[in-house]
Amino acid sequence: MWTLDDIPDLTGFTALVTGANSGIGLPTALHLARRGARVVMTAREQTRGQGALDAIRTAVPGGEVELRLLDLADLGSVRAFADGFDEPLDLLVNNAGIGMISRQTTADGFEMQFGTNHLGHFALTGLLLPHLLARPGARVVTVSSDAHSLGRIDFDNLGLERGYGRVSAYSRSKLANLLFTLELQRRARGRLLGLATHPGATATGIMGKGWVARPVGALMRLLLQPAEKGAIPSLYAATSPHATGGLFVGPGPKALTPSARARDESLARRLWETSEDLTGVRFKVIT
């Protein structure tokens, strides 16, 4: 079975992990740094980010890790982040996410779970594309969920003004993560690899904040796998030479089959074009 010891030497490798200040993102960034990668970790708030940065620097003395601020629920922040990023990138881990919250909207007026989990990462990937294409074999790993199989996308109700549900909004955003990954893999035609993951039910902040009320979240944290285990599919997808483009990796790590809807190519094309229109970000060299 693949373990953290199988992560290859990553010296000379640059990785960017979104939402790396907590949960699954923190051990993802830590183990990449431990194997020698230069890691840019993002947080949306300086104090929380600094605590995680300090923890990684303590665990990996001499590790090359830095913190930059990014709010995926604000396309202005995504653009400012990308404008300030100017180096070849071997790996982008679209990890950050928000789950099961009451209906809210992003700075640009999109439904929050779709806007953060999908549109923010879609825009980020598109804006960083030239840096990814500068590295042969670069990977884009997007953290989805098996909850994607419950997701539906109604293009006439993208804002979910009608019939908002916490679970259905989350599932929709995770379906969008998978459709995006598989469409990216098709459009890139081998110039980069698109992979998606399902971490497995993991004790993280996402549970206490939104999935269920805080006391139940605390109980679930005792029962669920720790964040380090939840990071295994991401680390496998990010670094294993056996992880091929288009793979959907689950706990184990082992390959999972995306739902029929996630494999629907016309749905993926429509979501891609809609996401370009909504974000104003076009993937210039991948048509």
Ligand X SMILES: NC(=O)c1ccc[n+]([C@@H]2O[C@H](COP(=O)([O-])OP(=O)(O)OC[C@H]3O[C@@H](n4cnc5c(N)ncnc54)[C@H](OP(=O)(O)O)[C@@H]3O)[C@@H](O)[C@H]2O)c1
Residues in touch with ligand X (CB under 6 A): 18-19, 21-25, 44-45, 48, 70-73, 95-99, 116-117, 143, 145, 198-199, 201-202, 204-206, 230
Q: For residues 256 and 146, is the Cβ–Cβ distance under 8 A?
A: yes
Q: For residues 48 and 60, is the Cβ–Cβ distance under 8 A?
A: no
Please, what is the minimum distance in Å from the beta carbon of residue 165 to ligand X? 16
Whose Cβ is closer to ligand X: residue 48's or residue 166's? 48
For CA atoms 115, 120, 121, 126, the dihedral sign is: positive
Say how many residues make up the chain: 287
Whose Cβ is closer to ligand X: residue 113's or residue 239's? 113
DSSP label of 105: B
Please, what is the minimum distance in Å from the beta carbon of residue 170 to ligand X? 7
Whose Cβ is closer to ligand X: residue 117's or residue 275's? 117
Whose Cβ is closer to ligand X: residue 185's or residue 204's? 204
Please confirm, yes or no, whether 164 is among the known catalytic residues. no
Please, what is the minimum distance in Å from the beta carbon of residue 235 to ligand X? 13
Q: Token pair of 34, please?
A: 């431990």
170, 211, 272, 283: which is the annotated catalytic residue?
Answer: 170
Terminal Cα distance for the chain, rounded: 38
Please, what is the minimum distance in Å from the beta carbon of residue 106 to ligand X? 8
Q: Token pair of 230, please?
A: 């939840």
The Cα 80–Cα 95 span in angstroms is 19
> Could you give the residue numbers annotated as active site?
170
